[in-house]
Amino acid sequence: MFDPSTLAVAMSEPHLTVPPAGPMRTCIATGEEGAPEKMIRFVVGPEGDAVPDLARQLPGRGMWVRAERAALERAIEKKLFSKAARAPVKTSPDLADRVERLLLDRVLADLGRARRAGRAVAGFVKVEQMIGRGQAGLIVVADEADGDGLQKLRATGLRLERLGDAAALGGIFGREQAVYVAIARDDAGGAFIERISAGASRWRGFRLNSAG
């Protein structure tokens, strides 16, 4: 069990720490082992509910689920959190949706840090300019990205990740929408590319691997 204030910090500032690597964990839904980076850790919260711990920092015994919506939905349906905790554990009806949103927010927070550090730009023209200068290391596109613009960016051979919708990306840059974003190659100021790319892939994998 932990103090509610600890939970508030972990949930509101997920981008401040990078979880360290650890030993293989076993998914309570599938029984399969996997690296912590491929899992989502849960702990029992102060109210006896299953709390997602994306930063893997909250105290308490961890319960691990593959970072896939289908696995989490199975854990909820079969009451596997209670079985793992050997005690009643509540799961909110929107837990899977909350996890998906937390995964997205975590990446958007890192993207916001990259923007504030002057390492990210939005808008097709600015993205093209960064690519032309040989500074771009990662392209991020919204779900709405399609057509010639997307194909042109793919043809550059740069790493490309889909992340959220145009409104979500636009909010990072103080505009209504942003379909195309470029992140500069990493330097001593921070390893933004790896964090954003890995986070986007994790969010997308959770979202796509659904029982529905």
Question: What span, in angstroms and rounded, lies between the C-alpha atoms of 53 and 157?
Answer: 35
Q: By the 8 A CB rule, do 51 and 4 touch?
A: no
pLDDT for 11 beyond 70: no
Q: What is the pTM of this model?
A: 0.84
What is the signed CA dihedral for 161, 164, 176, 191, rounded to 10 degrees? -50
Q: By the 8 A CB rule, do 58 and 2 touch?
A: yes
Please state, as a whole number, how many other Cβ atoms lie within 10 Å of the Cβ of residue 27.
23
pLDDT for 211 beyond 50: yes
pLDDT band per the 50, 70, 90 thresholds, residue 4: very low
Q: By the 8 A CB rule, do 120 and 184 touch?
A: yes
